[in-house]
Amino acid sequence: MTATLLDGTATARAIKDELRAEIQSLAARGRRPGLGVLLVGDDPASAVYVRSKTRSCEELGMHHETVHLPASATTGQVVSQVEDYNRRAEIHGILVQLPLPPQVDSERVLRLVDPGKDVDGFHPWNVGLLVQKRPRFVACTPAGIMELLARNGIAVAGRRAVVVGRSDIVGKPMALLLLHADATVSVCHSKTRDLAAVTREADILVAAIGRAGLVQREHVKPGAVVVDVGQNRVEDPEQARQLLEPPRLADFERKGYAMVGDVHFPSVKDVASAITPVPGGVGPLTIALLMKNTVKAAAQEA
């Protein structure tokens, strides 16, 4: 058995296509959705993510602005920019690109984002609403995964789901969304004993722990749906040989690096019923749901 590939790029494209009419309608009423982005420092990955997000805004005809502060920025400077975005009517969604430099109080910054503009779903108010099953804005990656499952006809209710990773950005909200969809949910993490024994119970397995190739064939129940959230840059040739299939290995040799997930794709694809690739799986969905949340924020104020 070879797993069906869950195409996140195609699903993200479908979501964006559905947003176009609503964006045009809002713009006609003088409420063109607007995203305000705050980038602090010179982290290359963060810069790539921001470019991808603003490019999506341009494709959809949304307003966007990016303020780029230096790596030496203080908490006060970051807070000042967030407060400026909070005040401005043409900015409906605020994205503070994480991680922030160590001298910046990230928790304070995220708490100060207007909850009605918190399109990343990180503000304590929005997290609390999600816990109560009254979601307003939900973290984009978990929300995108739920869209992927639904649009591929993958049932969640009554199934066993295991989430590997307990971050505030992915693991915890993912577990809550699956729970609210009537799955029986377990959350694993770095202190979980006999990880494979737990993950082998999963009908739906979500890997979001940030370790390249951690989830191997022995972690996966035959026929499980495997969702790989990992985005790990591999530069070591020996590690690449262990993690990549021949076509991607040849690409690695040309580029000198490759992005891989938390799942060992070559072995797991032969036991899972469906699996997300890396790249082209969860990543595009995160951006699509950011757009969807921003449009929702604009519509709520209309």
242 part of the active site? no
**Residues 86/113, Cβ–Cβ less than 8 Å:** yes
- Give the DSSP H or E segment for 50: helix 44-60
Among candidate residues 120, 203, 228, 262, the one labeled active-site is 120
Q: Give backbone dihedrals phi and psi of 102, rounded to 5 degrees, phi first.
A: -60, -25
Taking the C-alpha atoms of residue 122 and residue 138, their distance in angstroms, rounded to an integer, is: 8
53 part of the active site? yes
- What are the helix (H) ranges across 132-206? 140-151, 171-180, 195-199
Q: How far apart are the first and last CA of the chain?
A: 50
Cis peptide before 266 (omega within 30 of 0): no
3-state secondary structure of 186: strand
120 part of the active site? yes
Among candidate residues 7, 16, 81, 97, the one labeled active-site is 97
Taking the C-alpha atoms of residue 278 and residue 180, their distance in angstroms, rounded to an integer, is: 27
Cis peptide before 124 (omega within 30 of 0): no
- Give the DSSP H or E segment for 223: none
221 C-beta neighbours (distance < 10 Å), count? 17
Among candidate residues 16, 53, 292, 296, the one labeled active-site is 53
**Residues 285/230, Cβ–Cβ less than 8 Å:** no
Tell me how long the chain is.
302
Q: Catalytic residues, which ones?
A: 53, 97, 120
